[in-house]
Amino acid sequence: MKRLHPVSEVEVISEFLKNEFYQENFHHDRDRFERVVMHADLNDERENALRRALLFRRRGHMWRELPANTAWWHVQIEPEDLHKIRVFPRAQWRKVAAESFLLADIAERIRQNRFRNGTGHFISKVRDLSERLRNTIDTSSVMLIGIDEHRPMTILEGNHRLTAALLASPELLERQFRVLAGFSPNMSDSCWYETNFRTLWRYFKHRVSNVYDREADVARALRAASPRGPRILTDAQGGESVSGGNAILNSK
Q: Are residues 117 and 45 in the same domain?
A: no
d(CA 18, CA 121): 25
Per-residue pLDDT of 67-93, as tens digits, reads: 999 999 999 999 899 889 999 877 678
- Is 251 a domain residue? no
Per-residue pLDDT of 147-161, as tens digits, reads: 999 999 999 999 999
Q: Containing domain of residue 230, as a range?
A: 7-68+208-243
Looking at the structure of the chain, the number of domains it has is 2
Q: Does 233 score more than 50 pLDDT?
A: no
Backbone angles phi, psi at 142, to 5 degrees: -115, 155
Alpha helices, H only, 23-140: 30-38, 45-63, 92-97, 103-111, 120-135
Q: Are residues 230 and 216 in the same domain?
A: yes
State residue 209's pLDDT score: 75
- Is 187 a domain residue? yes
Q: Are residues 220 and 120 in the same domain?
A: no
Q: Are residues 167 and 215 in the same domain?
A: no
Q: Are residues 76 and 190 in the same domain?
A: yes
Helix (H) or strand (E) holding 11: helix 9-20
- Is 174 a domain residue? yes
Q: Are residues 169 and 225 in the same domain?
A: no
Q: Are residues 111 and 171 in the same domain?
A: yes
- Other Cβ atoms less than 10 A from the Cβ of 21: the count is 17
Asked if 145 and 84 touch (Cβ cutoff 8 Å), the reply is no
d(CA 158, CA 194): 18
Q: Are residues 151 and 137 in the same domain?
A: yes
Q: What is the mean pLDDT of the chain?
A: 83
- Is 14 a domain residue? yes
Find, among 236, 251, 67, the residue nearest to 156 by Cα. Answer: 67
Backbone angles phi, psi at 61, to 5 degrees: -65, -25
Q: Write the DSSP assignment of 172-233 as a string of letters.
A: HHHHSSEEEEEE-TTGGGSTTTS-SHHHHHHHHHHHHHTSS-GGG-HHHHHHHH-SS--EEE
Q: Are residues 75 and 62 in the same domain?
A: no
Per-residue pLDDT of 20-58, as tens digits, reads: 998 887 888 788 889 999 999 999 988 999 999 999 988
Q: Are residues 54 and 75 in the same domain?
A: no
d(CA 58, CA 43): 24
Q: Are residues 225 and 162 in the same domain?
A: no
Angle between helices 159-168 and 103-111 (to 10 degrees): 60
Q: Does 232 score more than 50 pLDDT?
A: no
State pTM to two decimals: 0.82
State residue 99's pLDDT score: 77
